[in-house]
Amino acid sequence: MTGRLVLIGLALLCFALALRKGRPTGMRALRETRDNLVRIMPMMLVAMPMATFLAELVPADIASGWLGPESGLTGLLVASFAGGLIPGGPYASFPLVLTFLKAGAGPAQMVALITGWAVLAFHRVVMWEIPVLGGRFALVRTLSSLALPLLAGLIAEALMPLFPHLLAGMR
Amino acid sequence: MLALARRHSTLLALSAITLVAVVLVRVLKGPDAVAHAWDGSVDLIIGILPSMLAGMLMAGSLRQLVPTGALAKWMGKESSWKGLVIASAVGMATPGGPMAAFPMVLVLSGAGADIGCVISFIVSWGLNGMNRILVWEVPLLGPDFALLRFLSGLPMGFIAGWISRRMPLRWAPPESLPR
């Protein structure tokens, strides 16, 4: 709840700063906000029910077993690779992560999954990276980021003591 | 009709998956589970809507405040680790989907950024883009998890750029901008 208030406060502050640069800048900020809203709202209205209904179907032992907080290195590796396979933008991946977290997946494993989705993103390599930048760039980029999801998961594991209520709060 | 379907293909795909999920829940778990999941969706949407609106306003405003292309001159081959840090920061500040970010790689390398810097840029855009964190991650997964995820991902753009500079593979940007 406090997090939400902070976010709203920060948003208003940023908007005030944009407005201070002049009315046209403020209007541009509002226009972009509206465009974002129009583009994202329909996705969100479909993605949220998708997440909650899928949550009913995910067998508890996949989330809490394979990807559970105790799944260790294997869980991090499975999550990293699975993340790379999730196609689509944030409207697909984040509701899915929410589903897994609610079903008992470990936060560090979900960090690895999001990182895998963000940096490996096999579908994005095929749809965007190769056509726009060429296969060679895609190769260099993929090789350079291959280990990152696991690394991010390990860092998250190490940071977990700083976030004690994450494990308890998700359920 | 076909063009309309193509433009909204993501939405159609999401709707189809949702529909299948609803039917499966009804068949496998019964009507109570459907009601339970439905209540959950309504709560979720109402719960994250204010944060999402705030996130969008913040992202839209920030974009007016931070210029990005002008920073490419600090991303050359000789920029050492500082270039990688700047490139990572620019990646985080770059909003929009892949249709905006991948052409941005061409803009940056055209303005003098080296391979390490453009890799740092694109990895940190994909992983820590502020726009996505504010619009999706914080509202949906909560500020605590988003912070854990952000901190864990923070060094990744830098690391990927550092590795790519040491890779025995050369890359030159394509001659012309793709249409």
In which region does residue B170 sit, left (phi positive, over 0), alpha (psi from -120 to 50) or beta (all else)?
beta
Which carries the bigger pLDDT value, residue A65 or residue A107?
A107
Query: Tokens at residue B90, please?
Result: 């620019």
Residue B69 has pLDDT above 80, yes or no: no
Q: Quote the ipTM score.
A: 0.77
State pLDDT tens for residues B97-118. Answer: 776 677 778 778 877 888 999 9
Residue B91 maps to a domain: yes
In a mutational test of the B interface, the residue from A117, A136, A144 whose CB has the highest number of chain B CBs within 10 Å is: A144
Find the DSSP H helices in chain A: 2-20, 23-57, 60-61, 72-85, 90-102, 107-115, 122-124, 130-133, 135-145, 148-159, 164-169
Classify residue B176 by its DSSP letter: S
Q: Is B163 close to A144, i.e. CB distance below 8 A?
A: yes
Question: CB burial class (10 A; 0-12, 13-18, 19+) of residue B168?
Answer: exposed
Which carries the bigger pLDDT value, residue A40 or residue B113?
B113
Share of chain A above pLDDT 70, in %: 95
- Smallest CA–CA separation between A122 and chain B, in Å? 13
Q: Would you call B69 an interface residue with chain A, using a CB distance cutoff of 8 Å?
A: no
State pLDDT tens for residues A76-86. Answer: 999 999 898 88
Residues of A in contact with B115 (CB under 8 A): 140
Q: Would you call B96 an interface residue with chain A, using a CB distance cutoff of 8 Å?
A: no
Per-residue pLDDT averaged across B73-99, rounded? Answer: 81
- How many distinct structural domains can be found in chain B? 1
Residue B23 maps to a domain: no
Q: Is A159 close to B151, i.e. CB distance below 8 A?
A: yes
Residue B5 maps to a domain: no
Per-residue pLDDT averaged across B72-79, rounded? Answer: 74
Q: What is the gyration radius of the CA atoms in chain A, in angstroms?
A: 19
Per-residue pLDDT averaged across B124-128, rounded? Answer: 92
Residues of B in contact with A33 (CB under 8 A): 56-57, 59-61
Query: Tokens at residue A13, please?
Result: 């502050």
Q: What is the pLDDT of residue A74?
A: 92
Q: Is A141 close to B122, i.e. CB distance below 8 A?
A: yes
Nearest CA in chain A to B128: A118
Q: Which of A7, A56, A89 sits opposite B33 (nearest CB)?
A: A56
User: Cβ–Cβ contacts within 10 Å for residue A1, how many?
Assistant: 5
Residue B146 maps to a domain: yes
Residue B42 has pLDDT above 50, yes or no: yes
Q: Which residues contact B9 (CB under 8 A, 6 or more apart)?
A: none
Q: Would you call B17 an interface residue with chain A, using a CB distance cutoff of 8 Å?
A: yes
Query: Tokens at residue A133, please?
Result: 């930048």
Which carries the bigger pLDDT value, residue B77 or residue A34?
A34
Write out the residue range of the structural domain in which residue B162 sits.
Answer: 50-169
Q: Is A133 close to B105, i.e. CB distance below 8 A?
A: yes
C-alpha angle A66-A127-A98 in degrees, rounded to nearest 5? 30
Q: Would you call B141 an interface residue with chain A, using a CB distance cutoff of 8 Å?
A: yes
Q: Which residues contact B121 (CB under 8 A, 6 or more apart)?
A: B75, B87, B88, B90, B91, B94, B104, B105, B108, B113, B157
C-alpha A77: how far from chain center: 17
